[in-house]
Amino acid sequence: MTTDFTRTENYSSMLNRIAVFNFLVSVLAVYLLRSRIKSLDMLLSRLPETVEIIGMKLSVGTPLLALLVAVLSRAIKLHDRLSDLFRIRRNFDIQEILIPMAQKTVGPVSDHLARQIERYREHLMGKVFYEFASSSPNRAVIDPHLIHNALDQWSWFWAFFEGVTILTSSCLVLFLAGAFTVALIILAGIVAGVILLIWMRSQCDKNAAAEIAAILASPERKDKITEVFRAL
């Protein structure tokens, strides 16, 4: 079983990492909200402040609300919703995978081909990329190390993206509540998080380039992919 700080090698472990990171960020966010919003603090204070588990006294209110946020985020796959909203995965698939693969197989990408690639993105990703770079051990064609590196980097990207989203929501609530000092401190953390996300995304681009090079290293695979693009 993969722990949250070792390399992620499948989609399930990626979701677990995101959920754990989400929970930790949510604990911090709830703590800060409780410290400045009395109504929230009073509501959570109705729960037992601590419970004793195996001889240890543990707080209830703050981690319980944080756990609820983490569970809901995983249930709705928040990173997928954010990706759809900001077109993150769509743009990545087109700009960093499909167009580079088309350029390396059929040559310069015409406006018509670019439109077809955009239109059939999901179908093409399955035919020219995931068929060879699947995270499933039984389906991977290229070196699994390359696939796992890419999945691991994406898992951290989405974990931080969800964390930044939670902090942004908390920052807005604190601003509305008049807690400007705490909100500005969180805002500084959000800016640092966004800078880190930009760097993480650049690493995702490099991992994709390495996977593409491995896929096209085989003349047989390259010919097969060339025919897929030519058929568009």
CA diameter of the chain: 68
Please tell me the number of Cα atoms within 13 Å of 142 on its side-chain side. Answer: 27
pLDDT tens for each residue of 190-200: 999 999 999 99
Collapsing DSSP to helix, strand or coil, 67 comes out as helix
For residue 90, is pLDDT > 50?
yes
Whether 162 and 18 have beta carbons less than 8 Å apart is answered as yes
For residue 140, is pLDDT > 90?
no
Q: Which residues contact 11 (CB under 8 A, 6 or more apart)?
A: 135, 151
For residue 3, is pLDDT > 60?
no
Please report, for residues 46, 172, 173, the alpha-carbon distance to residue 36 in angstroms, rounded to integers and kept in the order given: 17, 13, 10
Confidence of residue 85 (pLDDT cuts 50, 70, 90): very high
Whether 196 and 92 have beta carbons less than 8 Å apart is answered as no
CA 141/CA 149 separation, integer angstroms: 15
What are the structural domain ranges in the chain? 11-230
- Phi/psi class of residue 55: alpha, beta or left (left: φ > 0; alpha: ψ in -120 to 50)? left
Please tell me the number of Cα atoms within 13 Å of 119 on its side-chain side. Answer: 8
Whether pTM > 0.85 for this model: the answer is yes
Overall residue count recorded for the chain in this entry: 232
Q: Which residues contact 21 (CB under 8 A, 6 or more apart)?
A: 4, 159, 160, 162, 163
For residue 57, is pLDDT > 60?
no
Q: Which of 54, 81, 91, 68 is nearest to 205 (CA)?
A: 91
Predicted pLDDT of residue 150 = 94
> What b/e sequence results for 95-119 when a residue is b if at least 16 CB atoms lie within 10 Å of its CB, and e otherwise?
ebbbbbbbebbbeebeeebeebbee
